[in-house]
Amino acid sequence: MKKDYYKTLGVEKGANEDDIKKAYRKLAHKYHPDKSGGDEAKFKEINEAYQVLSNAQKRAQYDRFGQNFDGAQGFGGGQGFGGFGNMGGFGFDFSGGEDMGDVGDIFEAFFGGGLGRKRKTYNRGADIELIKEITLEEAFRGEALRLNYETMSSCATCKGQGSDKSAGSNKCGTCDGKGEIRETRSSFFGQFSQVRTCATCHGQGEIPNKICKDCSGAGRVAMRQEVQVNIAPGISDGQLIKVVGRGQAGERGAGAGDLYVRVQVKPHHVFQRVGNELIIRKDLDILKVLAGEKVEIPTIQGGKLHVEIPVGFNLREKFRIAGEGMPKFNSFGRGDLYVEFNVKVPKVDQKIKKVLGE
């Protein structure tokens, strides 16, 4: 039967390997016979098309001879790649080796363990995120903060082991000391093994004779911790600081998670921050400017600057004071301070008018 493998997978003739693989996986999941609404015939057709288009040599032959190429028999009428014994004949090629990863991914998606591969288990402690508010001044100069928080910490009595090691232990009868249970499942493709952690001994392979009474065998207890976090000058609002190993302790001596501190910089009543720049609004008496008086500008450090407005300066523009902004985080130098003037024109009497007229 003449078949258009590109049309079967829904890809263009010039599709690359990744496009072909993605299309195959999507359709294989959709039409798998073990799924509700699956289609065995369609599934077989999809696999046959994939086996041709995913193999450079077979694809070249198919592109050359077109639909005269028979995916199930090749050109010589031999076995080709169509069947593999009692596995259902759905076009998976186990002989070449390079397709095994794709087949294994499909099996793992449907059957959980996939081709007898051992499933990894992780009992590392969870990460923790705390939010810490600081002032703009603290963000400017940097700060060493003491944080106090409650988390699951390593049990001091058993040193995180969950039991008294000196009391010894016995081999777990559930898993026969292996720490894992192997289960065999029957499926559309045959029988497959799945390995899971033994729930009785939690993967240890042995049962302690004396469980720690303070942590009930978990190796960790709830308690408060205190940690110092150093905030570098110039830190931004929303920035994260990572403290390795200060999250939750893992169960039975497993590694601890990490602590993440999210910094929130509180709005300031005088300064507005934009990146490394600071902006301030300042009322300005136009007569004092005309008289040549300097303008007093507050700084983030708490001091004051006295600046002179240059002749011809447009008071509608921002006045820049170089190097008086925020420090550049983990770098050198500072941003700038910009002053937005709010020009106030006082009531002009006859005496002032006469002076101005002169």
Mean pLDDT of 282-287: 86
Per-position DSSP letters for 304-357, written without gaps between them: EEEE-PPTT--TTSPEEETT-SPBPTTSSSB--EEEEEEEE-PPP-HHHHHHHH
pLDDT of residue 109: 44
Using pLDDT thresholds of 50, 70 and 90, give the confidence band for residue 101. very low
What's the rounded mean pLDDT across residues 31-58?
Answer: 82
Q: How far apart, in whole angstroms, are the C-alpha atoms of residue 282 and residue 295?
A: 9
pTM for this entry: 0.55
| pLDDT reported for residue 350 | 58
Token pair listed for 314? 């447009």
Mapping DSSP to helix (H, G, I), strand (E, B) and coil, where does residue 108 land? helix
Token readout for 172 is 């777990």
1 pLDDT higher than 60: no
Share the mean pLDDT of the chain. 79
Most confident of 66-70, 306-310, 351-355: 306-310
Q: Do residues 8 and 44 touch, judged by C-beta distance below 8 A?
A: no
| Domain 271-357, CATH | 2.60.260.20
Angle between helices 17-31 and 40-53 in degrees, nearest 10: 170
CA dist 232 and 328 (Å) reads 10
The predicted-structure confidence for 148-173, as pLDDT tens digits, reads as follows 999 989 888 888 888 888 888 888 88
pLDDT tens digits for range 222-260 = 989 999 999 999 999 999 999 999 999 887 777 889 999
**Which residues are registered as beta bridge partners of 286?**
none
pLDDT interval class at 72 (50, 70, 90): very low
What tokens were used for 28? 């294989």
Residue 46 has pLDDT above 90, yes or no: no
> How confident is the model at residue 118, as a pLDDT?
36
3-state SS class at 293: coil
Q: How many CA atoms lie within 13 A of 10 on its CB side?
A: 9
Q: Does residue 353 carry a pLDDT above 60?
A: no
**What are the pLDDT digits (tens) for 293-330?**
899 999 999 999 999 988 888 888 999 999 999 999 98
What was the pLDDT predicted at 119?
36
What's residue 299's pLDDT? Answer: 95
Architecture in CATH of 124-161+221-266: Sandwich (2.60)
**CATH 1.10.287.110 residue ranges for the chain:** 5-111
> pLDDT above 70 covers what percent of the chain?
77
Q: Where in the chain is the domain with CATH 2.60.260.20?
A: 124-161+221-266, 271-357
**Domain 5-111 in this protein, CATH class:** mainly alpha
Q: What is residue 262's predicted lDDT score, i.e. its pLDDT?
A: 94
The answer, yes or no, to whether residue 87 has pLDDT greater than 50, is no
